[in-house]
A and B are shown apart, each in its own frame.
Chain A
Amino acid sequence: MSGIELREITVAWDKEIFFDNLSFNVNNGDVAVLLGLSGSGKSTILKTVLGVQASKTGRVFLNSRDVTNIDIKSRDIGYVPQEQHLFPNMTTEENIGFGLKMRGIAREVRKKRIREVANFVGIDFLQKDPRLLSGGEKQRVALARAIAPNPKTLLMDEPLSSLDTAERLNMSLMLKQVLGELDVTTLYVTHSPQEAEILADSVIVLEGGKIQQIGSFEEVATDPVNIKVAGILGIRNVLESDTLSQFDISSYRRGSLYIIPPSNIVESDGGVPAKIISHSGLYTFIDVEGKILTMEKCESKKDIRVEIT
């Protein structure tokens, strides 16, 4: 059964077309990660599902229900925006309970539900002023607020982008657990392949206004359909043709691309010249015949010779 479906959505603004006949489907209960670089329009798609962005043509289905012309508040959606946007004039508890209040749920029932959700998401600071919370805490509250009314669909717009790396990992894992336990279809927008790796049941790779590839993370990461996808996934050493000096890299072929794991590029006196560009913590970046490749960290400073094994 379909949880979220976009059918032939065209979004245009002032003669500029963002999406032309875009379609995809997310199964009920799945977490779909909409992966793309900044400016690829992933937030716009999210907003179309949310109901804030109007589409010129096409339809939006939530749980097989056509919601294209239905306003936001009736779509039964939970929304976690990029900046958590906790209502500053309410306490944390009131924030979480807002959706319940708006739906007319009685106070006592509300309180109970709020505690339930807070526990679930790991919040023990219900009375704290939302402005005083840390980034991670705010994010939990935003999540709690979104899921408290038990929506069927959950939309998350780069929720972890404002957190630091340590928090980001923690939150990703927490999200994984939470989303797994909830009976909700999630569309999760991010540019981070790590988050996709942790969270996604399916990955929708978006670039240039088009869906480039859909699949599990493993599928997309090992067999990217084109170089753009490879770039988005952060895959290293992706080449479009099999010519690289005298080396035969045909064995590294994945679909229409050639992907060389960094560990297979080694220093060797018999190899081809490679200019060292820079070292990072784990890798060394080299220039081989004009192509930038990544190899595992080596000690040399200047130019070396490498070979592909």
Chain B
Amino acid sequence: MIMGRSWIALTVLQLITFLGLFYIVPLIEVIQISLSSGGWTEVIWGQLFITFLKFSFTQAILTTVFCLLIGIPTGYALTRLQPFAKKFLSVLILIPFLIPPMSILLGFVIIYEPNGLLAQLLGFQLIDVFGTLSGVVLAHTIYNISIVTRLIASNFESLDEGKITLAKSSGASPLMVWRYVYLPHILPSIYASILLVFLLSFNSFAVVLMIGNVKLQTLEVMIYSQSRVRLNYGLAAKIAIIQLLINVLVTIAFIRITKEPKYTGTYRDPPKVSKKLRILSTGWIFAVILFTWQSILATVYQLSRTSGRASIFDGNYSSLLGTSPLRVIENTLFFGVMTGLLATSLAISLLVQRLFMSGRTTSYVLGFISIMPMMSSSITLSLGLLLAYRSTSFFSDDIWIFIVASHILASLPFVTQTVLTGAKQVPTEYITLSQSLGATKLGTMRYVLLPLLAPSIIVAFLFGMAVSFGEFGATFFLVRGEWATISIGIQRLFATRSNFLPLQYSLILVLITLLSFSLVERLRK
């Protein structure tokens, strides 16, 4: 039936058009520009580049090391030392990772600036965070400990109690238990943590942009600076390609090194732990939580103290923001909803193809989409969008289209993963049955699949929305006119952070992000 065929073709078209226009074309454009002029040796051996490259690696490695040093004991304590209020602590520990970087940064700066909260408390400035390696590493560590702890804890949960008992009854000292039982078992999550934290820190944009003070830049910041500020597109494109290669190589190297997580054995309660130890572990975890929550707490504290006049309903900051403060919130919500809707719709398209079309092409596309996050940094992508579409009237008049597109791309891997995982739970027999009962593919989708997938779809939508709320890099690169989002608003108001508005914004951002993610958690169950 013609109707039946064409709707599937439409989904294919949607996917191809979107990816083609907003991902392939920009990427090709960047590659093309990078190759168009020579000068690779100047780039690779250039002073600036080498310094920033070293810096990118150094801070990423240091961050990873610190996150592991803190994350491993914390994950251990959380799962094996029976802290009080364990469930509550687990949730608290994860939250900082979900919060958009701009919010974290604001609080961070409030604490560590020359006249910041810490300096007020101590009477002197303990650590200079602006333009210093320690500052960047500190900020990154605060942000990433959460996810490492979570990963390690998950891994610990699948530890077979029998092994421990065996080791201990054979007279193994605690050190040996760690060396021969614990560490080997959590190796998969250690590897996953290393890869994740390294890539996130290596490609960091917001943090390094704001506190790097020009002196310190990751390659990501350098690409932005060379393209948007210096207008050296050729140079920027070359750096983008090099960064891409590094990311790909690191990820491939890691995939080859790591093994599949061995989730053998189900969780059994470990033997009772002494009260003293429980108190200690609770204390330690609490300290870590405080450490990772410091930015949020500082923001709240500062909000309660500040009586600046500017607020969401004030017009005073309109020129800095490019529009009214309320409109900034509207933009954020608008982008969030659009991203959620469109990313989910793309994911469903992908699902349809996987279900109803022959295997080869879809598995390629799927694999492609899962590699995407590693393959393109948001700044590189934005650069590509700029280079490819700058001469179009859409780019001038309707930049919001491109901002939404970049948000969709940022969220697509997560959204797709959610939808596909949900679909895996649906037995294929349902489709066979439905068809045997006379349903067309569309009918099967409508009456059988979509109702069953509804929870996953909602989760995917929320995920897309949350990613959009927090997105900074691409938005920062592209935004113009009246399209600032909350993240951008915070950044623009950074200089006036003691005033109400950026703090309010930060809190709002935190709240809406948390709301989305908590809904995600609820619905997952």
* Complex A–B touching at CB under 8 A: yes
Give A contacts to B, CB under 8 Å.
Answer: 50, 52, 71-73, 75, 77-79, 81, 83, 85, 87-89, 98-99, 101-103, 145-146, 149
Pick from B427, B430, B436, B447: contact of A72, CB under 8 Å: B436
Tell me, in angstroms, the Cα distance from A101 to B437 when the chains sit together: 9
Please indicate the chain B residues that have their CB under 8 angstroms from the CB of A145 in the complex.
437
Please indicate the chain A residues that have their CB under 8 angstroms from the CB of B448 in the complex.
87, 89
Tell me, in angstroms, the Cα distance from A98 to B443 when the chains sit together: 11
B433/A85 in contact, CB under 8 A: yes
- Grouping DSSP codes into helix (H, G, I), strand (E, B) and loop, the B interface class, with mixed when no group exceeds half, is helix
A-B contacts, 20 of them at CB < 8 A, read: A50-B436, A71-B435, A73-B437, A73-B438, A73-B440, A75-B436, A77-B436, A78-B436, A79-B437, A81-B432, A83-B427, A85-B429, A85-B433, A87-B433, A89-B452, A99-B436, A99-B437, A102-B443, A145-B437, A146-B436
Tell me, in angstroms, the Cα distance from A71 to B447 when the chains sit together: 19
A102/B437 in contact, CB under 8 A: yes
A79/B436 in contact, CB under 8 A: yes
A149/B429 in contact, CB under 8 A: no
Tell me, in angstroms, the Cα distance from A85 to B431 when the chains sit together: 10
Interface flag for B434 (CB, 8 Å): yes
Tell me, in angstroms, the Cα distance from A33 to B432 when the chains sit together: 21
Tell me, in angstroms, the Cα distance from A174 to B439 when the chains sit together: 28
- Nearest neighbor of A80 in chain B, beta-carbon distance: B433
Q: How far is the CB of A157 from chain B (nearest CB, A)?
A: 9
Please indicate the chain A residues that have their CB under 8 angstroms from the CB of B429 in the complex.
81, 83, 85
Tell me, in angstroms, the Cα distance from A77 to B436 when the chains sit together: 6
Pick from A83, A89, A98: contact of B437, CB under 8 Å: A98
- Nearest neighbor of B452 in chain A, beta-carbon distance: A89
Please indicate the chain B residues that have their CB under 8 angstroms from the CB of A79 in the complex.
432-433, 436-437
Count contacts on B: residues with CB < 8 A to the other chain: 17
- Nearest neighbor of B437 in chain A, beta-carbon distance: A99
Please indicate the chain B residues that have their CB under 8 angstroms from the CB of A99 in the complex.
436-438
Q: How far is the CB of B273 from chain A (nearest CB, A)?
A: 41
B432/A72 in contact, CB under 8 A: yes
Pick from A81, A88, A89, A101: contact of B433, CB under 8 Å: A81
B427/A149 in contact, CB under 8 A: no
- Nearest neighbor of B454 in chain A, beta-carbon distance: A89
Q: How far is the CB of A14 from chain B (nearest CB, A)?
A: 12
Q: How far is the CB of A97 from chain B (nearest CB, A)?
A: 10
Tell me, in angstroms, the Cα distance from A102 to B451 when the chains sit together: 16
A52/B432 in contact, CB under 8 A: yes
A72/B451 in contact, CB under 8 A: no
Please indicate the chain A residues that have their CB under 8 angstroms from the CB of B427 in the complex.
83, 85
Tell me, in angstroms, the Cα distance from A89 to B451 when the chains sit together: 7
Please indicate the chain A residues that have their CB under 8 angstroms from the CB of B439 in the complex.
73, 98, 102
Please indicate the chain B residues that have their CB under 8 angstroms from the CB of A81 in the complex.
429, 432-433
Q: How far is the CB of B458 from chain A (nearest CB, A)?
A: 15
Please indicate the chain A residues that have their CB under 8 angstroms from the CB of B436 in the complex.
50, 72-73, 75, 77-79, 99, 146
Q: How far is the CB of B134 from chain A (nearest CB, A)?
A: 55
Report which residue of B432, B436, B439 has the largest number of chain A beta carbons within 10 angstroms of its beta carbon. Answer: B436
Pick from A72, A83, A87, A103: contact of B435, CB under 8 Å: A72
Q: How far is the CB of A153 from chain B (nearest CB, A)?
A: 10
Please indicate the chain B residues that have their CB under 8 angstroms from the CB of A149 in the complex.
437-438
Tell me, in angstroms, the Cα distance from A145 to B434 when the chains sit together: 11
Tell me, in angstroms, the Cα distance from A146 to B438 when the chains sit together: 11
Q: Mark B190-225, 1 if CB is under 8 A from A, else 0.
A: 000000000000000000000000000000000000
- Nearest neighbor of A82 in chain B, beta-carbon distance: B429
Please indicate the chain B residues that have their CB under 8 angstroms from the CB of A89 in the complex.
448, 451-452
Q: How far is the CB of B438 from chain A (nearest CB, A)?
A: 4
B451/A98 in contact, CB under 8 A: no
- Nearest neighbor of B441 in chain A, beta-carbon distance: A73
Please indicate the chain B residues that have their CB under 8 angstroms from the CB of A72 in the complex.
432, 435-436
Q: How far is the CB of B433 from chain A (nearest CB, A)?
A: 6
| Chain B stretch 425-476: residues in CB contact (< 8 A) with chain A | 427, 429-430, 432-440, 443, 447-448, 451-452
Q: How far is the CB of B387 from chain A (nearest CB, A)?
A: 45
- Nearest neighbor of A99 in chain B, beta-carbon distance: B437
Please indicate the chain B residues that have their CB under 8 angstroms from the CB of A98 in the complex.
434, 437, 439, 447
Tell me, in angstroms, the Cα distance from A103 to B430 when the chains sit together: 17
Please indicate the chain B residues that have their CB under 8 angstroms from the CB of A71 in the complex.
435
A85-B429, A146-B436 are known; give 20 further A-B pairs, CB within 8 A.
Answer: A50-B436, A71-B435, A73-B435, A73-B437, A73-B440, A75-B436, A78-B436, A79-B432, A81-B432, A83-B429, A87-B434, A88-B452, A89-B448, A98-B434, A99-B438, A101-B447, A102-B447, A103-B438, A149-B437, A149-B438
Tell me, in angstroms, the Cα distance from A85 to B429 when the chains sit together: 7
Please indicate the chain A residues that have their CB under 8 angstroms from the CB of B433 in the complex.
79, 81, 85, 87
- Nearest neighbor of B448 in chain A, beta-carbon distance: A87
Tell me, in angstroms, the Cα distance from A146 to B430 when the chains sit together: 13
Tell me, in angstroms, the Cα distance from A99 to B440 when the chains sit together: 11
Report which residue of B437, B439, B440, B452 has the largest number of chain A beta carbons within 10 angstroms of its beta carbon. Answer: B437
- Nearest neighbor of B427 in chain A, beta-carbon distance: A85
Please indicate the chain A residues that have their CB under 8 angstroms from the CB of B443 in the complex.
102
Please indicate the chain A residues that have their CB under 8 angstroms from the CB of B452 in the complex.
88-89
Tell me, in angstroms, the Cα distance from A81 to B448 when the chains sit together: 16
